[in-house]
C-alpha cells in the first residue's frame, strides 16, 4: 500500500466515524440529548476547561459556581439569588466573580467588584428535579493590587449538579469531554464526542446538531508540544464535514495542533488547534480557529 493510499484510508476512516456517530445519535434521539457537566471559557484568548473540579452550592438563597482546571486556574461566581436571569457584574453590584491561578501567586486575584471591572452571569435554566443548572458568563476582572486585567469570554456552564445545605458539600468532580472551535465565525459545539485509538492512531470526532462534524487524528502517544497539521504526513490531520456533505474537508499543510497534556495512563488528552479545511478536489475552504479539546479516549 503506498503512502498516499494509506493517508486516504485514514481520512476515510475518520469520516466513517462521523457517519457512525450520526446514526448512533439518531437512534438515541440525539437531537434532545444534552451534554452534562460542561464548564469552560476563554481567558485572555486561551481556552480554559474546568477539568479538575466543578462545584455548585446553594446557601441562604444564593449560589456559588466554581470551576478548577488541572493547571490550577479557578473561576468562581457568587450570586445573591439562585434564579434564572442575567446578573450584572461591576464594582457596585452584589453579584461578583473572581479568577485566580492557584499554581501562581495567591495575591494575584482578579475581581469583578474592583476598579473598572464589568460583565454578566446568566442562569438560563434550573432543573429542580435533577438538581442541574446551566448558563453563560463573560466578564473583565481587575487585580486591585496592580490594576492588571483578566478578560473572560465565551463562558459556559451546562447541566452542572448543585447541592444545598449549611455545611460544605463536595460532590464528586465532573469531568466531561469537550471539543469546540470556530468554523468561520460560527461556534462549533458538538452534542456527541467520540475519542478512540486504533492501530496507534487517536481519533477525536464530534458531531453538532445540524449534522456537521469536526475531527482530529494524531498518534496516541503524542507528547506535549506543537505540531504542524498536514494531511500529506498522515500523522496530524484535521477534518471538517459540513452539514449535508458527503466528503470531508481536510487540513493540508496549513494548521497547528498543540498538545497541552496527554495522560496515557488514565487516557485523557487536551489541546488546541486551528487549520484550514480544504476540499480534496474543488470547493470552498473553511477556516477552523480557536479549537480546543479535552477528552478521554479508549
Which residues have a Cβ under 8 Å from the Cβ of 75 and sit 6 or more positions away? 41, 43, 48, 50, 66, 67, 97, 98, 99, 152, 155
Give the pTM.
0.51
Contact of 150 with 130, CB cutoff 8 Å? no
Output the nine-digit C-alpha cell for 290. 480557536
* pLDDT tens, per residue, the chain with 298 residues: 333 333 444 444 444 444 444 443 333 333 333 345 789 999 999 999 988 788 888 888 889 898 888 888 899 999 999 999 999 999 889 899 999 887 665 557 899 988 889 999 999 999 888 888 999 999 999 988 888 999 999 999 988 988 764 443 344 444 578 888 999 998 988 877 888 887 888 989 888 877 788 889 899 999 999 999 887 777 898 888 887 665 567 777 688 999 999 999 889 999 999 999 888 666 688 999 999 998 889 8
Amino acid at each position: 500500500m503506498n503512502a498516499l493510499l494509506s493517508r486516504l484510508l485514514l481520512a476515510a476512516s475518520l469520516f466513517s466515524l462521523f457517519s457512525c456517530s450520526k446514526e448512533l445519535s439518531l437512534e438515541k434521539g440525539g437531537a434532545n440529548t444534552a451534554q452534562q457537566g460542561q464548564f469552560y471559557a476563554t481567558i485572555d484568548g486561551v481556552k480554559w476547561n474546568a477539568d479538575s473540579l466543578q462545584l455548585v452550592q446553594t446557601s441562604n438563597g444564593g449560589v456559588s459556581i466554581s470551576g478548577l482546571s488541572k493547571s490550577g486556574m479557578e473561576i468562581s461566581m457568587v450570586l445573591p439569588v439562585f434564579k434564572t436571569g442575567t446578573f450584572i457584574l461591576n464594582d457596585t453590584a452584589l453579584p461578583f466573580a473572581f479568577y485566580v491561578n492557584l499554581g501562581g501567586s495567591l495575591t494575584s486575584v482578579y475581581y469583578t467588584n474592583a476598579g473598572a471591572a464589568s460583565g454578566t452571569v446568566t442562569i438560563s435554566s434550573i432543573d429542580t428535579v435533577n438538581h442541574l443548572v446551566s448558563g453563560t458568563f463573560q466578564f473583565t476582572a481587575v487585580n486591585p493590587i496592580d490594576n492588571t486585567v483578566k478578560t473572560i469570554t465565551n463562558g459556559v456552564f451546562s447541566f452542572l449538579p448543585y447541592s444545598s445545605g449549611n455545611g460544605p458539600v463536595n460532590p464528586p468532580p465532573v469531568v466531561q469531554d469537550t471539543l469546540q472551535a470556530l468554523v468561520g465565525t460560527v461556534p462549533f459545539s458538538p452534542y456527541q464526542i467520540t475519542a478512540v485509538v486504533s492501530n496507534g492512531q487517536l481519533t477525536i470526532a464530534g458531531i453538532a446538531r445540524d449534522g456537521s462534524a469536526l475531527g482530529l487524528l494524531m498518534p496516541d502517544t503524542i507528547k506535549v508540544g506543537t505540531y504542524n497539521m498536514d494531511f500529506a504526513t498522515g500523522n496530524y490531520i484535521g477534518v471538517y464535514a459540513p452539514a449535508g456533505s458527503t466528503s470531508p474537508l481536510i487540513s493540508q499543510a496549513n494548521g497547528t495542533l498543540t498538545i497541552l497534556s496527554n495522560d496515557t495512563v488514565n487516557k485523557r488528552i487536551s489541546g488546541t488547534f486551528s487549520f484550514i479545511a480544504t476540499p480534496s478536489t474543488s470547493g470552498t475552504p473553511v477556516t477552523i480557529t480557536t479549537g480546543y479539546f479535552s477528552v478521554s479516549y479508549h
